[in-house]
Every structure is written in structure tokens, then in C-alpha cells.
């Protein structure tokens, strides 16, 4: 386990590591206006997000229900940034191909819903997409340790999935740092993403812990200055010092 002090100052690992590049902002459409979703996607792209995440919910694994692959496909022409499908669904295997065909470059499944995780990740890659796995706050990293070679991306959930606008669970920074150490030791190229409660107040500490992709939903979609102002604010937050613990 990484000590708390390493989350407040640069660790001793090489400062040339890619994790010290400023993280990309991933725009979530979970809180968007669904009546004008194509425009919302275009606005997020114009605002400067590096990716767009589709939070797919089934009212079984999580309490809410959102959209299917047909909605994602309808919006693909409105953006030229990569799409990623975050499948918060009880049984993802039957729909993997649907989201790849809809234009998602990355498909993320939850370790908690995949009894044959290695097989599921292999299926995503066979479809021509990048394979990602998400880990809920209460789920230890031991559940993904033996599939690192199958992964292009891991998502550390800093909220419990199912709702937008939740409070960031700062204790998960220890898990991010633990994952960062695993990636560094294995020389893996997989990306670490943090999802949940990212704002101008939490973005930098998530990055310091080791994240390279930061999912922002409410902080961008509900910003009084608009989406571009929100993305710029998040980037500026990377330059601010982190208060001592």
C-alpha cells in the first residue's frame, strides 16, 4: 500500500513516466440533455475533451437505466474524439459487439459482473476494440491482477456506480496509487482512469495518485460558464498545489 504522503508530493518513481503527462479529460454524457444528445456530444468535443464516455446502465447492476447502442451510433457522427462504453450492466457479453459496431473504440466492463473476465476481455479485443475493466470502490485490485496482460485500460471507481453528481471518495486514491505501482512494475501500457466526483477540487489529487484519464460529468455539464470553461478549469487545476493532509 502506498503511504498517504506519496499522494501529496511526487513519488520517487521516474518523473519521465507517462503518468506525469497532464491527464486527458473524458467527458461523460450521463447528465446531458438527452433530447439534444448529438449537440451535447458536439459541444463536449468543441470544449476540448479527449474522449467521450457513454455510461450504459441496465437497472440491474445499478439502479438506473440509460441508453443503448443505437443511441451511441446516432451520435457517432457528431464527434471525432474516441468513444468509450462503460457497461454498468449485469451481463455485458451479449452486447459487446453492439457497442463496438456503434463506434466505441474502448469497451469497459465491470469485474463484478464478469465470471469469466479473461474470456470477456479477449472477446472485446477480437472485436477490434480496446478492452477495459472497471473496479468498484469495495472491490480489491486482486480481482484484476491476473488479467493485466489482457487490458488496455482500468477504471478505478471513486464513487459507487449508478448516479451522477456523487461525492468523490478520496480514500480510493490509495487504490489508484496501488494500480499505478502495478502498471509501472509490469511495464504495461494500460491506462488508468478515475471515474466519479472529478472536479476542480479533486482532479489534481487523482492525477497525483497515478491516473492518466479523468472522467468528468457534472463538473463539465453543469458548469455555469459552459463546457469549454469547465474543461479549461480542470486543466488549470492540474497546476495548483495539493494541500497537505
- Catalytic positions are 55, 195
* DSSP 8-state assignment for residue 226: -
Residue 102, Cβ density class (10 Å: 0-12 exposed, 13-18 middle, ≥19 buried): buried
Contact 95, 88 (CB under 8 A): no
Number of helices (H) and strands (E) in the chain: give both, helices first. 8, 8
Contact 25, 234 (CB under 8 A): yes
- Residue 243, CA distances (Å) to 9, 169, 209 in order: 10, 17, 14
Residue 160 C-alpha cell reads as 459507487
SS3 240: coil
Amino acid at each position: 500500500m502506498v503511504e498517504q504522503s506519496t499522494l501529496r508530493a511526487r513519488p520517487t518513481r521516474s518523473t519521465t513516466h507517462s503518468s506525469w503527462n497532464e491527464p486527458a479529460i473524458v467527458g461523460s454524457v450521463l447528465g446531458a440533455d438527452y433530447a439534444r444528445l448529438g449537440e451535447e456530444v458536439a459541444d463536449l468535443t468543441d470544449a476540448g475533451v479527449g474522449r467521450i464516455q457513454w455510461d450504459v446502465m441496465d437497472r440491474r447492476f445499478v439502479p438506473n437505466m440509460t441508453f443503448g447502442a443505437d443511441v451511441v451510433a446516432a451520435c457517432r457522427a457528431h464527434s471525432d474524439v474516441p468513444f468509450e462504453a462503460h457497461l454498468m450492466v449485469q451481463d455485458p457479453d451479449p452486447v459487446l459487439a453492439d457497442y463496438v459496431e456503434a463506434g466505441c473504440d474502448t469497451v469497459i466492463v465491470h469485474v463484478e459482473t464478469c465470471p469469466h473476465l479473461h474470456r470477456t476481455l479477449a472477446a472485446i479485443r477480437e472485436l477490434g476494440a480496446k478492452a477495459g475493466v472497471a473496479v468498484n470502490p469495495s472491490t480489491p485490485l486482486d480481482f484484476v491482477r491476473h488479467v493485466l496482460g489482457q487490458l488496455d485500460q482500468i477504471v478505478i471507481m471513486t464513487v459507487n456506480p449508478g448516479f451522477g453528481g456523487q461525492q468523490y471518495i478520496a480514500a480510493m486514491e490509495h487504490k489508484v496509487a496501488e494500480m499505478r505501482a502495478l502498471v509501472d512494475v509490469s511495464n504495461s501500457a494500460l491506462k488508468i482512469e478515475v471515474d466519479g466526483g472529478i472536479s476542480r477540487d479533486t482532479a489534481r489529487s487523482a492525477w497525483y495518485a497515478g491516473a492518466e484519464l479523468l472522467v468528468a460529468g457534472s463538473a463539465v455539464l453543469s458548469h455555469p460558464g459552459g463546457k469549454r470553461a469547465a474543461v479549461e478549469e480542470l486543466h488549470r487545476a492540474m497546476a495548483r498545489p495539493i494541500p497537505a493532509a
